[in-house]
Amino acid sequence: MSQIKKLAGQTAYYGISSILGRVLNFLLLPIWTARLETAEYGAVTSSYAYVALCLIVFTFGMETAFFRFSKKENNLKVYNSSATAVLIVSGVLSALIFLFATPIASLLGNGVKETYIQFLGIILFIDGVVALPFAKLRLEQKALKFAVIKIVVISFTITLNLLFIVVLPDILSGEYLQGLQSTVEKFYNPNYGIGYIFLANLIANAIYLPLLWKQFAQIRLRIDWEVFKPMLAYAWPIFLMGLGGMFNEQGYAIILERVAPTDLASTPKAALGIFSSAFKLSVIMMLGIQAFRYAAEPFFFSHADNKQAPALFGRIMHYFVSFNIVVLVAVALNIELISDVFLRDEDYKQALFVLPILLVAKLFYGIYVNLSVWFKLTDKTIYGTYYALAGALITLVGNVLLIKEIGYYGSAVTALACYGTMSLMCYLKGRKEFPIPYNFKPLFAYLAVALVVIYSADFIEVSNVWLGYGIDIAITLAFTLAMYWLEGRNIQYKPVKSNNSQAH
């Protein structure tokens, strides 16, 4: 079996948890959009944007450093040192968040309460301390256990959201199970609102601890400084890169409600909730990218000394982009069907016109994930920091300036400019430092055809909604079959002669 097929198999395995997890999470979208006001959904979105940024601080690049420095002779020292450091940092930072919950809540604005922040502080602690045990599972190629644990926790999250947001309120209002109404009244407070979303997340995340107990039991709370110092030197640029990268991903949620023009929605938080629904659907593109990243990091490091590695990495990029262009077309063409399933309230569909741009932006992020292999393998992770910070600057300036002028389009165009610039910068430097024979010409041709197909379909007007769904699905299948005929029939690793020539 070729190395590419092996990587594809590992990606599919890790993708079980990522894809099924996202599918289950998408089940929350119709629940939230049906039961929450757009402003309430905006408050949830902005809160979790800060959580995502904080989690980067809690783990400070230790996962990637763990992969880079783990060898048979020092694996235990690396695991103990990195896990202990993350445990200490997570504990201190979570304690500070818990203690200063009141001023933090006031900074985040209306709709966010002190107890929400305290819940999020505990959630962050759990997410931080489980990061290295999960990394250990990935290093040991225990993809099945990794997937099962993730799916169990996500399933509990979905179940608890259904209970707190749908079932208990309906029982309380007498919709069904009237015999339980008096019991529910004793412990359920309908005025607590979105607080139950955070509570559900906290309870579900706590399940990680017993499920990963074996990995926790192997940790010895000590830091071997001889091992940890080079890890820290390697990790701090990864940390800055992750912080910038997460801001690029979630920055819109922090900025949009502060700069949204008054005619965009009833309130700034409502505008954020509306745009977040479109952004949430664009995350479908991230399913394969996330699964690929889980499998690719250990894969790339394990093939670092292979003379044929550059040619192998070039072919991986080719098939990765080809596959995700198919995903791009599938999501963009069928957005009406997807939105009717997941966005029950028409208010949430107001920003869907920016979805194709967001999907292309995610595609460029996936390209960047592939391109970043050069600075990770050459220990020049500082370049990743440069690229992420450049992207963060574009995210900040673009959102602030363009949202005021062109509304939701401004944030989507900014995302595309951010990831496109990062990819270009990484490619131009990487072709000198670690030449990989990428061949982007056919890939950009595929992308151009895909965009023509997507926007041409808008000119097909039908009166029957089901006929419209059918036409979109038929075009998607035709495009998929064409791509399979061009690229998918003979996926294999073909060695490419490389004399350290620059990529083209």
Could you report the per-residue pLDDT of 285-317, keeping only the tens digit for each? 777 777 677 666 667 766 666 777 788 888 888
φ/ψ bin of 464: left (φ > 0), alpha (ψ from -120 to 50), beta (otherwise): beta
Percentage of the residues of the chain whose pLDDT score is greater than 70 = 82
Distance CA 116, CA 101 (A): 8
Rounded Cα distance between 325 and 443, Å, is 9
Query: Is the sign of the CA dihedral 176, 181, 185, 187 positive or negative?
Result: negative
- Asked if residue 15 is part of any domain, the answer here is yes
Condensed to tens digits (0 to 9), the pLDDT of residues 389-438 reads 899 999 999 999 998 888 888 889 999 999 999 999 999 999 998 888 99
Computed over its alpha carbons, how large is the radius of gyration of the chain?
A: 23
Interatomic CA distance for residues 393 and 99, integer angstroms: 32
**Total domain count for the chain?**
1
Q: Quote the tokens at residue 63.
A: 């996962």
Which of the four pLDDT bands, split at 50, 70 and 90, describes residue 121?
A: very high
Out of 155-159, 269-273, 312-316, least confident range = 269-273
Q: Which of 370, 225, 351, 275 is nearest to 41 (CA)?
A: 275
For residue 477, tell me if it sits in a domain: yes
Assess if residue 502 is contained within a domain: no
The whole-number pLDDT of residue 107 equals: 81
53: containing domain: 3-488
Residue 493 lies in a domain: no
- Residue 504 domain flag: no
**258 pLDDT more than 90:** no
Average pLDDT over residues 149-173: 87
More confident: 459 or 111: 459
- The whole-angstrom separation of Cα 419 and Cα 416 is 6
Q: What is the pLDDT of residues 168-207, one digit of tens each?
A: 888 888 888 888 888 888 888 888 878 888 899 999 999 9
Q: Would residue 494 count as lying in a domain?
A: no
Asked, for residue 381, whether it belongs to a domain, the answer is yes
Average model confidence (pLDDT) for the chain? 82
Q: Is residue 186 part of a domain?
A: yes
pLDDT band at 166, cuts 50/70/90?
confident
Judged against a pLDDT cut of 60, whether residue 337 lies above it is answered with yes
